Structure 1
Amino acid sequence: TGVMAALNGDDSVVATYREHGHALLRGMSARSVMAEMYGKLTGCSRGRGGSMHLFDKDLNFYGGNAIVGGGLPTAVGLALADKMQKRDRVTVCFFGEGAMAEGEFHESMNLAELWQLPVLFVCENNLYAMGTALRRSESETNLPMKAASYEMPAWSVDGMDVLAVADSAQRAVDAVRGGGGPHFLEARTYRFRAHSMFDPERYRDKAEVEQWRERDPIDLLLAKLEVPDDELAALEEEIRVEVEDAVDFAENSPDEDVADLMTFVYSPSSTVAGRLS
């Protein structure tokens, strides 16, 4: 939330497989998102992407990505295109700390710094890559140090404090947009729930989870903003209505015709596509 608030409409966003909040904040409608999660034709990816592949080119939202670290090279490519075409844009790339053990992370960081590309790397560090603790997967757990090794400006922020993230992100985005080259921002946060419905969560104890819950970012933000109860209730009702409308829209949307099964799999001019048509 804090990072998205720092962006302009022309900026590009590349997210992870937990991209739903990013997509909605970018301006994607709840209907489009919900229909995609239902696998319906009216979804943002025509029902072909599902929950982990939300995408909207008109919003410069270049998707979630089911591949850990898979969005990093895409973000660097977008930033390279902007630099070559002299466009005043910033590309923001979100990823988790687990992606920092992937080769494409280091390739992307190196190239972005080498060519001074306008990209902000945002690591959402929730301490666990699925069930693997950070200390068991990284020899250096001070993540900004990894970016600093590429001579890239890097720092950490309390990811549970929305306003602190917004301030820190604005500083980073302004620096990138001003010609300061790529930057790295680590948001230290926590995942309250299991990684998935198949996760027994045996890698952490309940006391740790409850300790982090005391710093729930929504509760902290509401406390700082001192939102009156009636305004909060009205907002929650507005959200409830929007979600119910999105669910109803998705459930009543059509599936894609089976005759279009091979559409978008191959390019229209492909000889393979011709043989399959």
Structure 2
Amino acid sequence: MKNHTSFKIGGPVDLMIIPQNEGQLIDAISLCREHDLDFFIMGNGSNLLVGDGGIRGVVIKISEGLNKIDFQGTKIVCQAGALLTAVSRRAAEQSLTGMEFANGIPGTIGGGVTMNAGAYGGEMKDIIKKVRVLDKDNNILEYTNEEMNFRYRGSRVMDEGLIILSVEIGLEEGNYEKIKETMRDLTHRRTSKQPLELPSGGSTFKRPVGHYAGKLIEDSGLKGLIKGGAQVSDKHCGFVVNIDNATCKDVLDLISIIQKTVRDKFNVELEPEIRIIGEIA
């Protein structure tokens, strides 16, 4: 799995399926459910930490096949595997504004909607109109924005174990040059402040109420701390990065040290934002 995640960490999966269309995705899920096989839907693996023992069961990777993007005026209909950055840039080319914040977020539309991803003042809940999902009984349902129970890093998808098939995004007509300038500014802010040159799972922790995780970690004296091949980034303490063939255990041990230190020093609980799956060898 290390070849399929941005962290470059993780042992083997028993079986990986890469569906090329929605029908194949639904068929794969139905087959797994029919035979009681454990399965996991992944996008491009940008916020995953996979155990060193790998994953027992089936991983269904959607970012390589289910990535169609269709523009209908100011409305965009895209499949769950489409990359957020790709949709954002395509929208900019059409002079559509409202999705500039997503340029540079390294996940898929499906993952972004599931966790209500956001950055620099924008969130997916601000632009989502409708979401098509597959429920646990293989029914295809459609929810409006209001029915999605969006909140900070959460949604109805997480609550009910739904699988996103496609989404409808609503943007507004804007000025092309202004949109591109905003995107250039956000890209500069990301590249100058985040350790994008190293493997990671993105922001390691959710933002605690009233605080910033990175500042708490830095103020705890943990900047640059190394455990095995994992390190608290010395560029942005909110990121744990893979500097030397880190194992999942290295990262988890470092996360535990960070959590305990911040808890002892500031009485604040840090909750991981990265998703941890698989067998921890």
TM range (shorter): 0.3 to 0.5
Which protein has the bigger strand share?
Answer: 2
TM-score norm. by structure 2 comes to 0.34
- Give 1 or 2 for the bigger CA radius of gyration: 1
| Higher fraction of helix | 1
